[in-house]
Amino acid sequence: MPFSSLSDIQSRLNNGETTAVEIAQLYLDRIAAFNSTLNAFVHLDADHVLAQAAASDAYRKEHGARALEGLPIAVKDIFCTQDGPTRCCSNILEGFEAPYDAHVITKLKEAGAVLVGKTNMDEFAMGSSNETSAFGPCRNPWDTDRIPGGSSGGSAASVAAALTPAALGTDTGGSIRQPAALTGITGLKPTYGRVSRRGIIAFASSLDQAGPMAGNVKDCAMITAAISGHDAGDATSVSDAPAIDWLAACETQDMKGLKIGKPKEYFVDGMDAAVRQSVEAALQKCEELGAEIIDISLPNTEHAIAAYYVIAPSEASANLSRYDSVRFGHRCDNPEDLLDMYTRSRDEGFGSEVKRRILTGAFTLSSGYYDAYYLKAQKVRTLIQQDFIQAFEQVDVIATPTSPIPAFKLGEKTDDPLTMYLSDIFTIAVNLAGLPGLSQPCGFASNLPVGLQWIGPAWREDTVLAAAAAYEGATDWSNQHPAEFNINGGES
């Protein structure tokens, strides 16, 4: 303690050394001690957390332990939860209480997890720094003048500072992997369709996918095993997804015979030199572990950002049209008529980045521009998918940096949306192709964590987890924690 893995906590619970209530209290104390510095949680009901923990202890006594029995997990404010508010960190959802749990929340509950609060995020998951949140920015535990990445910044900061041992995030263009990289933790975006999107507030429906953020590879696997699976309530949840032995994949200790692709488009001028060096060193380590590093090319990578920033806003503009203030959410005072109510409520409720996306998306979908932008972006998306399909004829898995730069200072990029968009340069293609991607820590650049990204073929999370587990086992990066939070602060 305080930096325990889910599996450590699980064994302590299983051998009766501690209880779910004790564990919950320990993390609640840490949240009480550190959240005012980090702003990782935007909603927390401590009594409700303790009640869940007590119920878990009772369940264990009577029926034995389920897969995540008594384990505390924080969830991003994008997941609908029946208990408490769900705001997507937006003012437009002021006062909103979801009538049902997201499918993944139900799954976590069924596995016995103790859900801890709602974590901070960019408004509607649009951003790379957590600065567009209506609740103010979240801070990076490694340097509180810096951003934790985004959009799942609160989940990342919570895990990096051990306010919870794990959290759920979502990833539309990198929002699990980039904040994981920038805070020195591990995050997995599963294959599109592996995890149900029902009850996850939609940003870009063809890209959104939920996944775990945790202190190590196995913890990510444990959570994904619990939340994945077909859901008839989400038409894009795949019913015959190949099954994986999630935990067995994490037992891998070497990389004998593994063919790792190193795409030249992901090692480019302009990226931070220390980031590049850390990732190159990681690949060298993989070679020592028996892997073969193969230079490959993903030639359409350069078009990924442009395609994403047409497709994602197009889908967002459609998804966000439901916020009309009629049945829920923020409504302006004294509307003159229906149109005034729509326009003023939306103007007051949405922040500027969300408005920028809605406007961009409405434009790219509008008649006369649809073919030039949206349709063209979809064609580019197909080319990007084909690049990966070809690459995976040659290699088992692809390794790249997760982010071209380490965590930047708060406010550094807020005036320049385009440079903010460029932070996602190495993560976005994975979403466009629907592939699994994982980020894990692999070093430091100016004392800030650097992330190594693994990309696998569709449905091969096991290959990704195996490579990451072998690398993790041979290095010590996952055991590094920010000194300021590596104390028993608030421990009871």
Buried b (16+ CB within 10 A) or exposed e, 442-461: bbbbeebbbbbbbbbbbbbb
DSSP one-letter code for 147: -
**Using CB under 6 A, which of 2, 70, 174, 211 touches ligand GLN?**
174
Q: Is 172 in the site for ligand GLN (CB under 6 A)?
A: yes
Q: In the complex, what is the shortest distance from the CB of residue 163 to ligand GLN, in angstroms, rounded to a whole number?
A: 21
Q: Is 77 in the site for ligand GLN (CB under 6 A)?
A: no
Binders of ligand GLN among residues 204 to 243 (CB under 6 A) are none
User: Catalytic positions, please?
Assistant: 76, 151, 175
What is the C-alpha separation between 368 and 245, in angstroms, rounded?
Answer: 48
Is residue 371 within 8 Å of residue 395, measured between CB atoms? no
**Using CB under 6 A, which of 5, 158, 175, 317 touches ligand GLN?**
175
Is residue 246 within 8 Å of residue 461, measured between CB atoms? yes
Q: Is 439 in the site for ligand GLN (CB under 6 A)?
A: no
Structure-derived torsion over alpha carbons of residues 372, 373, 374, 378, reported in degrees to the nearest 10: 90
Torsion angles phi and psi, residue 223, rounded to 5: -70, -45
Determine the interface stretch with ligand GLN among 121-129, 133-141, 228-236, 263-271 (rule: CB under 6 A). Answer: 121-129
Identify the CA nearest to 181 among candidates 38, 279, 35, 285.
279
Q: Is 90 in the site for ligand GLN (CB under 6 A)?
A: no
Q: Is 154 in the site for ligand GLN (CB under 6 A)?
A: no
Residue number with CB closer to ligand GLN (173 or 449): 173
Q: In the complex, what is the shortest distance from the CB of residue 132 to ligand GLN, in angstroms, rounded to a whole number?
A: 9
Binders of ligand GLN among residues 190 to 209 (CB under 6 A) are 203
Residue 38 is encoded by which pair of tokens? 């980090």
Opening angle at CA 477, ends 187 and 42, nearest 5: 40
Q: In the complex, what is the shortest distance from the CB of residue 443 to ligand GLN, in angstroms, rounded to a whole number?
A: 23
**Using CB under 6 A, which of 7, 10, 106, 128 touches ligand GLN?**
128
Is residue 478 within 8 Å of residue 215, measured between CB atoms? yes
Residue number with CB closer to ligand GLN (173 or 351): 173
Q: Is 148 in the site for ligand GLN (CB under 6 A)?
A: no
Residue number with CB closer to ligand GLN (25 or 224): 224
326-365 footprint of ligand GLN as x/- string (CB under 6 A): ----------------------------------------
Residue number with CB closer to ligand GLN (286 or 312): 312
Residue number with CB closer to ligand GLN (56 or 130): 130
The alpha helices in 290-416, defined as continuous H runs, are: 304-319, 338-349, 352-365, 376-394
Q: In the complex, what is the shortest distance from the CB of residue 147 to ligand GLN, in angstroms, rounded to a whole number?
A: 12
Binders of ligand GLN among residues 417 to 436 (CB under 6 A) are 424
Determine the interface stretch with ligand GLN among 15-23, 170-178, 339-347, 381-389 (rule: CB under 6 A). Answer: 170-178
Q: Is 127 in the site for ligand GLN (CB under 6 A)?
A: yes
What is the C-alpha separation between 450 and 404, in angstroms, rounded?
Answer: 9
**Using CB under 6 A, which of 125, 225, 244, 452 touches ligand GLN?**
125
Binders of ligand GLN among residues 300 to 329 (CB under 6 A) are 312
Q: Which residues contact 51 (CB under 8 A, 6 or more apart)?
A: none
Q: In the complex, what is the shortest distance from the CB of residue 433 to ligand GLN, in angstroms, rounded to a whole number?
A: 14
Q: In the complex, what is the shortest distance from the CB of residue 127 to ligand GLN, in angstroms, rounded to a whole number?
A: 5
Q: Is 143 in the site for ligand GLN (CB under 6 A)?
A: no
What is the C-alpha separation between 461 and 250, in angstroms, rounded?
Answer: 11
What is the C-alpha separation between 245 and 55, in angstroms, rounded?
Answer: 29
Q: In the complex, what is the shortest distance from the CB of residue 26 to ligand GLN, in angstroms, rounded to a whole number?
A: 31
What is the C-alpha separation between 227 and 212, in angstroms, rounded?
Answer: 9
What is the C-alpha separation between 311 and 319, in angstroms, rounded?
Answer: 12
Whether omega before 2 lies within 30 degrees of 0, making that bond cis, reads yes
Q: In the complex, what is the shortest distance from the CB of residue 172 to ligand GLN, in angstroms, rounded to a whole number?
A: 4
Residue number with CB closer to ligand GLN (127 or 451): 127
Q: Is 171 in the site for ligand GLN (CB under 6 A)?
A: yes
What is the C-alpha separation between 124 and 316, in angstroms, rounded?
Answer: 9
Q: If you search the block for the tokens 């999107």, which residue do you land on?
A: 197
Helix (H) or strand (E) holding 399: strand 397-401
Torsion angles phi and psi, residue 27, rounded to 5: -75, -35
Residue 149 is encoded by which pair of tokens? 């990445």
Where along the sequence are the contacts to ligand GLN (CB under 6 A)? 125-128, 151, 171-175, 203, 312, 424
